[in-house]
Chain A
């Protein structure tokens, strides 16, 4: 009866009334959930195995994950329409990682990752509009249309890096700055299972451990480095143990609550001055490595389907919330509708916004004062370079 009334009212677009009706249905304020125990390396105890999720947080995480999911799918669509060009690496399937990590840290903490960065760009505070406009290379984009998919930046979010593994020593450096500034901040330095075999990562491990830097190294293990499965690339697929002298924990990256608790644990560890810590997030990506990879030549469709049906992060959270009476299916559907509209509007903007003007081609090469001229493709083409 209640549901029918609320449906009628929402049909008449009396949003506030329907929400009041829905809200007056008694939802629990919070619920306690059991989460998977993390495998530990060089740690006596790990994150807790139970956690409390409030209704408010639950709705927030759901909305954020759904936004990331829809945004990535919209990017897929725009890429196929050739409105987005170049390279595009999507992170749908890995939403619990970006939202869960953000839930475990403060906005004043720092984060750096590789090229599968759209989700992190959103969770670190940029709007979908800015992200999609950057993907389409327009002036409304967060990097003024000059960076593209792999080069998005926000406050306390250092990108967005194209070269595999190169961001990890950078993250260790940011952690050094955190320690130096003494503001109790940590740096989350992310890399993938493919990058975990790069030499510079081990150099960063050594420096971080030697100088006890507040760096949380996070390996987002989605089982495939481009088209190579982890077994065929790594002598040891226990990525959380690869830090050797750095303690590590292996986390279920499809469960947002697991990720959140592990992140809180790791952040507390670093903030206490004990040095770096390593987290392996076991996650999965539905899309191929990038938009030019169909993603089915090195794994079966059945495998992808299985993960989607059994471990989808949004589905897991939704089931938890509905079953513990933290939210109703209708309410979550409403959020879906709102998110869809937000993404549509952002995509409209991203398609309609003009490209950056050609005069800006030479800007920001150096930091220079006063402005100077830069040669173009030959010595008679000159661009002004301002920074």
Chain B
């Protein structure tokens, strides 16, 4: 709801700013004046309590990967980990409470299947977990570390940024910890408050040498996680925790890969480009549907999928087509990843031209 109100407000400002061509096009498309509230009413609306919601929108059943099964997000993660441990004899999973299945049930059954030396608990020490994981990865084994909540990843920040990210570079490619993947539940869940809701992807986006990935659905999660594990660079895989149970889809049983650093255009459109990742993709899809229905605006929806390195080409190509960009994410607005996207899109005059009005939205 907040996203929709903001979008409406953005359109209002566009009108107020007297933008020519695009606005006329929108007006011509049958914009209803009554729908757009006056600025003062909007201000009051902003102060009213808004309860965020989203509706998970499953993708159609994939046909190219063989037999599928109905899975939610944590089951898709378990399936991916199962495939990894089966395929790669050096793969190990470790973290707090992973042995019994994990606090979000992402590792259920794996210890029984693969043994206690491949799926084991660590004590309560995030810095130790990641440092230890880097060590395993440097010897060539596949290390899949779990940080119980993304809010707790900060003691490990030094290990990730100073050790993992720079290992290959500083050793002149003699050593690397590319077989390290860090998985962590991410994003708001409604009752998480300060320390069970954070979205720290922007902190890590500032660090070359690692990859940061956020899936929007079970099908995406399994494919992206398998790609992260097989990728020869240290990866951080953030799993939207609110989707663990809420997102249910048909997911292939066999392993498959979704390429990293490729954004996906979920819905084609012509008037405005909407970019999001994780849970927010579903909010944005709802916004796109409402915009089409109530304002007659055709939105192109892009799921960024990989935050670092991000798919500049897809986003820019879309913005060239539509001329407008709106990026929406859960993380705080200032310094959030939307600022990187909007400044890149504006800074490249050869790629993106015309009346660009990128707009950022964050929580």
Contact = CB atoms under 8 A, between A and B. Distances in A.
A195 B124 contact: yes
A162 B125 contact: no
A150 to B, nearest CB: 8
A87 B123 contact: no
Contacts of B360: 378-379
Nearest to B192: A86
Contacts of A195: 124
Contacts of A227: 97, 100
A87 B155 contact: no
Given A87-B196, A378-B6, A359 B47 contact: yes
B124 A86 contact: no
A232 B127 CA distance: 19
B63 interface: no
Given A375-B333, A378-B6, A380-B42, A228 B195 contact: no
Interface residues of B, number: 35
A375 B195 contact: no
A126 interface: no
A382 B97 contact: no
A164 B124 contact: yes
The winner among B9, B13, B124, B196 for most chain A CB atoms within 10 A is B124
A163 interface: yes
Contact of B6 (A297, A359, A380): A380
Given A379-B360, A381-B46, A86 B97 contact: no
A380 B9 contact: yes
Contacts of A200: 155
Interface string B1-14: 01000100110010
B361 A86 contact: no
Contacts of A378: 2, 6, 9, 333, 360-362
Nearest to A234: B123
B83 interface: no
Q: Is the interface of B mostly helix, strand, loop or mixed?
A: mixed
B191 interface: yes
Contacts of B49: 358
A127 B139 CA distance: 56
A376 interface: yes
A42 B360 CA distance: 60
Contacts of A225: 123-124
Nearest to B42: A380
Contacts of A148: 193
Interface string B134-176: 0000000000000000011001000000000000000000000
Contact of B124 (A162, A194, A376): A194
B6 A377 contact: yes
A200, A297, A378 — most chain B CB neighbours (10 Å): A378
B255 interface: no
A370 interface: no
Contacts of B194: 151, 162
B344 interface: no
26 contacts: A86-B191, A86-B192, A87-B191, A87-B196, A150-B195, A151-B194, A163-B195, A164-B124, A165-B124, A197-B124, A199-B127, A200-B155, A227-B100, A228-B123, A233-B123, A234-B123, A358-B48, A375-B334, A377-B6, A377-B362, A378-B362, A379-B333, A379-B360, A380-B6, A380-B9, A380-B42
Pairs A-B, 4 closest by C-beta atoms: A197-B123, A378-B6, A381-B46, A162-B195
Interface of A: 85-87, 148, 150-151, 162-165, 194-195, 197-200, 225-228, 232-234, 297-298, 358-359, 375-382
